[in-house]
Structure 1
Amino acid sequence: MTQDPANTLKVAHQAFEHFTYGLETGEWQAFLDMLTEDFSLWFPMGKFHGLNVGKERAQEFFQYVSESFGSGITLTAVDRVTSNDQTVVFEFRDEGLLLGQPYKNRVAVSFDVCGDKICAYREYFGSDGKSY
């Protein structure tokens, strides 16, 4: 299915706003409401390593993120946004406390857009979590 690139970007930006709000506050409902029922999530490590499927699994993942970051995580910069007809990638920097320890990182998250919903999420990070 071919999608309008402008709509893809609009939906992804709205989802990214809800995503960063979730990171900062632990309130994920607005982001979760944008996910399809068959949503897929790919994460590079830990108990959610690899492919995770379903909105319920996504809810478990984002709750785990909130528990890990306790006081929240702050997005400090968006370095790049790249998109095509269906996928938008946000490269950003964030910081906070991870399991009580200082955390700073560079992250890329990829949203696949299906109509007005997010149907897939992939996350990549490369630094050691201690500095940029």
Structure 2
Amino acid sequence: MTQDSENTLKVAQRAFENLTHGMATGEWEPLLDMLTEDFTLWFPMGKFHGLNVGKERAREFFQYVSESFSPGLNLTSLDRITSNETTAVFEFQDEGLLFGQPYKNRVAVSFDVRGDKICSYREYFGSDGKSN
């Protein structure tokens, strides 16, 4: 593993911890503090579908996540981490209440790292969380 790969994984793991903390508690500042000013976020559906640019848009997105999953969304398993010199992908399962209805899903999130900051986030999901 190269020094860049090690740094990317270390920074991304901290971002993932801040992400799961925010999902569970609604406290997003630790994650938001890690974002670059030109941060980009890609989300597959809904109000934030497609490309979203900037820290303020990220703040709006994560606040929306908190409102949608009140009282919180919990990580139930971390299934895989894949990383290289610039990107780390976390595959996990989570569950909670989505607008008051039971929710369970398998998710992959990708963080692009620049130095000690996150410059891009992409999220992919779609299954019910059951393993085959």
TM interval, short-chain normalised: over 0.9
Gaps of 5+ in 2: none
**Matches of 1:19 and 1:31, distance apart in 2:** 6
Q: Is the 8 A contact 1:3 1:115 kept in 2?
A: no
CA RMSD of aligned residues (A): 1.2
Residue of structure 2 equivalent to 1:34: 34
Q: 1:67 matched to which residue of 2?
A: 67
1:123 aligned residue: 123
TM-score (norm 1): 0.95
Matches within 5 A, 1:35-54: 35-54=35-54
Q: In the alignment, is the contact (CA less than 8 A) between 1:87 and 1:113 conserved in 2?
A: yes
| Partner amino acid, structure 2, of 1:23 | M
The Cα offsets for residues 36-90 of structure 1, whole Å up to 9 and x where unpaired, read as: 0000000000010000000000000000000000110100000000001000000
Counterpart contact for 1:80–1:91, Cα < 8 Å: yes
How far 1:3 moved relative to its partner?
A: 6.8
Provide runs of 4+ in structure 1 moved above 4 Å: none
Q: Is the 8 A contact 1:40 1:51 kept in 2?
A: yes
Count residues with an aligned counterpart: 129
